[in-house]
Structure formats: C-alpha cells, structure tokens
Amino acid sequence: MSPLTRILTFTGLLVVAFAAAALAGRTIDPGGAAPAAAEAGSHMSTTEPDPMRGLGVADDELRVVVEQPELRRGRAETLRFRILGEGGDTVRDFDVEHEKRMHLILARRDLTGFQHLHPTQGPDGVWSARVQLADAGSYRLFADFSHDGTPRTLAADLRVDGAADLRPLPAPAATAVSDGGYDVRLDTAGDELRFTVTRDGAPVRTEPYLGAGGHLVALREGDMAFLHVHPIGDDPRFEVDFPTPGRYRLFLQFQHEGRVHTAAFTHEER
C-alpha cells in the first residue's frame, strides 16, 4: 500500500470514529441513560396523583386499624377503629368536613350493602359506630376524613359470617328507585352528573344534607377505589372526573322531609 493510500485510509477511520462518538453523545446522557428513558422518568415523577383514594390501610404516616373485623350477620354490633399516626400513636385531632370529623362508608365487595355513617370518637381516640350488616360476605370499610388540612381515605376489610350470595353489578340505567321509594333520574353531560328526584311524578326539592345539596360516593368495580364528591350549588348536580375507564357504582344520598335517602346507579366510563 502506498503512503498516500495509508494516509487516506487512516483519515477515513478517524472520521468514522468521531461520527460514532458524536452519535453516542446524542443518545446517551453523561450518566449512561438514554434520553428517552430520562424523559420518561421525568414525566412519571411529575404525573398528577390518581384522585381516587381508599385503596389501602395506610397513606403516608397514617393508617387505620379495626379492632374486630369479624361481624355477625344481621346483628347490631359496635364497630370500633382508630387512626394511627407516626410512631403508632392514636390520632385525635381531625378537621371538620361537611359538619363531621369522620365519615364512615361500608360496602360489600360486590358493591351492595352501602352505608354512610358518622361514628363518635371516645377520649382514647377510638371511633365507634353501631352497624348491622344483613348479608354475609367480605366488606370494605372506608374511613373518610381530613387531617391537618389534607383529605384522606383509608380502607380495611370486614368479614361477615356465612355463605355470601354475591350479585353481578347491574347494567347502567338512567333511572333508579331510592330506598325511600323516590324515583331518581341520572343525566350526564361530559363530566357533569345531574340527578332529578321525583315522588309520585312530582318534582322533589331536596334539603341540605351535611351542609350540601346531596352527597355522591363512587366505587370502582374491581378494586373499590373511592371517590367522595360534593355537589355544585344546592342541587344534586356533581362534576366528577373519573380517572380511568371502567364501571363505577354511584351512591347518591339526598335529604327530603328530614330523612336521608340513597339511590344507586351503575356508570360506565369509556
């Protein structure tokens, strides 16, 4: 090989080497991670948290502990639980939200047997409520409260003795009958859910319940993730941002003539 040929070959190899180095510099960061992965990690760290709560017994430093999760079918019993903070100390200070410091929600795993109770807190910090669960099966307890200005929902399982007759989730429907015999219609427009209450064909003007025109709890089919939504204005009209597609069981509570009534709907979010 002539000297000129050797020089040209060596120069060509240098050009290829520098080009490869430049390409590597564009695709790998100084720490060795590809930019696509770095950007994905950054995106994940800034993603807004799922607004649905109630998926676990603990949230940060708080957790719920139920004293006796085994209940007897059809018996009126006292259910006791406490909220523990950092170090295992019982939390005693809670914010007032919608006229109450603690909202207790119960529902069976097939999204039946819904109850919304307001327990009382003893001097030792233990919350207690009288409950009666008519059907056997596995239930979910939701302790819904605010502490230090932050809303929280902690959840734990309850068990009721006996063979459970689990039911499939009803198909979505625009109308339902409440436990007090009221007819309720659900109309949806985007993220807004509007409920119209009638009795014997006549419109019903709902009364304030816990400082609002109504209350709505949504439980997601499958994992029972929890949403507690309050109305827009004085009517049972709610703006709900369902975080995922799927089916949800909606429990609307409204007050009329001094009594609280519940109507349940199945909503499918696409």
Model pLDDT, residue 233: 80
Model pLDDT, residue 51: 61
Q: What is the dihedral of CA 160, 247, 263, 137, to 10 degrees?
A: -10
In the predicted structure, residue 4 carries a pLDDT above the cut 60: no
Name the 3-class secondary structure at 170. coil
Mean pLDDT of 85-108: 95
Candidates 1.20.120, 3.30.70, 2.60.40, 1.10.260; correct CATH number of 175-269?
A: 2.60.40
Mean pLDDT of 2-16: 40
pTM, two decimals, is: 0.80
What six digits make up the tokens of 13? 């190899």
Q: State phi, psi for 226 to the nearest 5 degrees.
A: -120, 130
Mean pLDDT of 248-263: 97
Domains 58-160 and 175-269 are alike in CATH topology: yes
68 contacts: CB under 8 Å, gap ≥ 6: 79, 80
In the predicted structure, residue 220 carries a pLDDT above the cut 90: yes
What six digits make up the tokens of 40? 């994905």
Ranges of each domain in the chain: 3-46, 58-160, 175-269
Residue showing tokens 């009209």 = 237
Per residue in 178-214, is it b (16+ CB within 10 Å) or e — as a string? Answer: beeebbbebeeeeeebebebeeeeeebebeebbebbb
pLDDT in tens, 104-125: 999 999 999 999 999 999 999 9
pLDDT in tens, 17-33: 434 333 333 333 333 33
86 contacts: CB under 8 Å, gap ≥ 6: 61
Candidates 2.60.40.1120, 3.40.30.10, 2.60.40.10, 3.40.50.720; correct CATH number of 58-160?
A: 2.60.40.10
Name the 3-class secondary structure at 123. coil
Listed as own residue / partner, the contacts of 12-21 with beta carbons closer than 8 Å and 24 or more positions apart are none
